[in-house]
Structure 1
Amino acid sequence: MSNEQYSLLKASEINSMDAFEFHHPLNPNSEVYLRFLGRAVGLKRIGVTIACIPPGKESFIYHAHQNEEEWVYILSGQGIAEIGDMEYEVEPGDFMGFGLPQQPHHLRNPFSEELVYLMGGEAGRLDVGVFPRLGKRVIRDNESAYIVDESALQLFDGSK
């Protein structure tokens, strides 16, 4: 395969990709199907993914990243976006961006048709996700991720 072919995914190829079924371990209502477009064309520093949330399900969990910006663009269906303390109905053509410092956010689909969106962001080696409603954090280091209770965090002070 030439570099040009590797850099292009035709719509027919995208539509035939197997979706990865993901359920967030801390949200029993999480069910999202992911097609990793960025990985398929060799992107290493940014992620681009088509996501689909079935009716009555949610994306991941109400969260904020500490080191990675991310964005969401609604392709079809409707959803409810929680951003900070507010809720917004979202529909095709709506765009959300989460810079740093990041507002906690979440996407759910209480409607009768699937919600399909394009999402992307940075894919750094190290990120910390905050789950403010649960008092937990996830620390991702390369391919490994660790969940910790915020109550167990201790400030590291090497000055003493």
Structure 2
Amino acid sequence: MTSKQEAPRKPVLFRAADHAQLKEQTQSHPLNPNSLLRGISLSEQVGLQRLGFHLLRIPPGKESFIFHLHQSEEEFLYILSGRGIAELGEESVEVGPGDFMGFPTPSVGHHLRNPFQEELVYISGGERRQVEVADFPRLGKRLVRFGTQVSIFDVAAVQNLSFGEE
């Protein structure tokens, strides 16, 4: 027996009827003025800590975040309804219901936008590691997240270290 009291666990079942009880979150990427996402984090509702799982919506004419790639966290997207344009590396393809995209690391650059008249609804998920590095290659920037601390800097300003060869 330990003297440290554990925090109460969240329920393992989050029912569809409970979705309406949640306040929807709105999020946009600070480097993309056309970024606008609305949705809920399903993983938060059941206490998942190492995996993010989100039900998201992109309104017509808006975009998910910004073209980016991951160095350490895998990510996936599954389209539920609507249509969108997925930028996958240098290719742009139309995606719709049932389409699945997976981004093992290091990932190919990717981005999702909705130039159509109906809302694009999808599930997004991935790892939640303590440290993540993501690049914004079209902007020449790199994001480093350690826990909740996020830093972004110009890749051109990076100084590479060498400890010599042994």
Note the residue ranges of structure 1 that are not aligned, 5 or more in a row: none
Q: Distance in 2 between matches of 1:128 and 1:14?
A: 32
- Counterpart of 1:86 in structure 2 is 91
TM-score by length of 1: 0.94
Aligned to 2:5: none
Residue 79 of structure 1 aligns with an amino acid whose one-letter code is: G
- Please list the CA deviations of residues 69-106 of structure 1 after superposition, one character each: whole Å capped at 9, or x if unmatched: 10000011110000001011111111000012210000
| Secondary structure class of the residue paired with 2:145 | strand
The match for 1:143 is: 148
Structure 2: 5+ residue stretches without partners:
1-7
Structure 1 counterpart of 2:120, from 115, 120, 129: 115
Equivalent residue for 2:100, pick from 86, 95, 110: 95
Counterpart CA distance in 2 for 1:37 and 1:82 is 25
Q: Distance between the aligned counterparts of 1:91 and 1:132, measured in 2?
A: 26
Q: Counterpart in 2 of 1:17?
A: 22
Aligned to 1:126: 131
Match of 1:43 in 2: 48
Which letter does structure 2 place at the counterpart of 1:125?
A: Q
CA distance in 1, matches of 2:20, 2:141: 36
Identity %: 49
Cα distance in 2 for partners of 1:123, 1:113 equals: 31
One-letter identity of the residue aligned with 1:119: S
1:33 CA drift (Å): 1.0
SS at match of 2:162: coil
SS at match of 2:87: strand
Q: Distance in 1 between matches of 2:162 and 2:44?
A: 39
> How far did 1:158 drift?
3.3
1:152 equivalent in alignment to 2:157: yes
CA–CA separation in structure 2 for the residues paired with 1:159 and 1:19: 51
Rounded Cα–Cα distance in structure 2 between residues aligned with 1:126 and 1:72: 21
The answer to whether the aligner puts 1:60 opposite 2:65 as a matched pair is: yes
Q: Distance in 2 between matches of 1:101 and 1:67?
A: 7
What is the SS of the residue equivalent to 1:57? coil
